[in-house]
Amino acid sequence: MEVLQAIKTRRSIRKYKKDPVPQEELEKVLDAGRWAPSASNLQPWKFIVLSDFKVKEKVAKSLAWGKFLDEAPLGIAVAADPRVSSHPVEDGSIAAYSILLAAHAVGLGGCWLNPSASEEEVKEILGIPKEERLISVMSIGYPAEAPSSTRKELKDITFTNRYGSK
Ligand SMILES: Cc1cc2nc3c(=O)[nH]c(=O)nc-3n(C[C@H](O)[C@H](O)[C@H](O)COP(=O)(O)O)c2cc1C
């Protein structure tokens, strides 16, 4: 899929088919995370694939707005280490977005599930070291819905040379 088309047609998917995600497709998606840019190319991230139903269920219960994680065939958590880079949130977020975009490009769907309200609890479940940050948990699978979304108009969010200047 062409990149601009992928960017514009990607949607957050919250309902999934039962079909498993082939290993080959999962690797493509993870590899897109690996190729994300990072500050000084320090790549402070780790990707944890959640394939065990019990693990997904536990994480799902801890997430405020991600209870549907246990209905997705897979989850991917992105952790980032502040000891490796002083930009763990930026680097982890851009890797997570690369993962979501690549998932869409290969016909999968995903949704960012905000772990911030229960970060320590989810880290504990997944065995992520205390020193690391949990940036994102994503549900991944073949979409069983085709939601629409909206965006603010470009003219309302774009200025030239100075904030507020048209
Ligand atoms: C930082 C961040 C946190 C989000 N947290 C959640 C979440 O906890 N649960 C959820 O269902 N969607 C979550 N989303 C998905 C957004 O709701 C979604 O991206 C937004 O509504 C736009 O829809 P679209 O992705 O389909 O274009 C999150 C997205 C981002 C970037």
CATH number of the domain within which 45 lies: 3.40.109.10
Task: Identify the domain containing residue 21 by its residue range.
Answer: 14-144
Query: Which segments of 17-86 are extended strands (E)?
Result: 45-50, 74-80
Give the β-pairing of 45-50 and 74-80: antiparallel
14 lines ligand 1 (CB under 6 A): yes
Give the per-residue pLDDT at 137.
98
Query: Which segments of 5-161 are extended strands (E)?
Result: 45-50, 74-80, 109-113, 133-141
Whether residue 127 is contained in a domain is answered as: yes
Whether residue 132 is contained in a domain is answered as: yes
Tokens of 3: 């990149």
Core vs surface per residue 135-152: b (16+ CB within 10 A) or e? bbbbbbbbbeeeeeeeee
Whether residue 154 is contained in a domain is answered as: no
Give the per-residue pLDDT at 69.
98
Return the residue whose CA atom lies nearest to atom 19 of ligand 1: 12
d(Cα 134, Cα 159) in Å, to the nearest integer?
Answer: 34
12 lines ligand 1 (CB under 6 A): yes
Whether residue 9 is contained in a domain is answered as: no
Nearest to 42 by CA among 80, 85, 78, 83: 85
Residue 111 Cα, ligand 1 centroid: separation in angstroms?
Answer: 6
Give the per-residue pLDDT at 166.
86
Give the per-residue pLDDT at 36.
98
115 lines ligand 1 (CB under 6 A): no
Give the per-residue pLDDT at 90.
98
Whether residue 2 is contained in a domain is answered as: no
111 lines ligand 1 (CB under 6 A): yes
Pocket probe mutation, ligand 1, options 8, 62, 114, 152, max atoms within 8 Å of Cβ: 114
The count of structural domains within the chain is: 1
Q: Please, what are the averages of pLDDT over each run of 10 residues along the chain (166 residues)?
A: 95 98 98 98 98 98 96 98 98 98 98 96 98 98 98 98 94
d(Cα 130, Cα 143) in Å, to the nearest integer?
Answer: 34
Q: What pTM value is reported for the model? A: 0.98
d(Cα 131, Cα 137) in Å, to the nearest integer?
Answer: 18
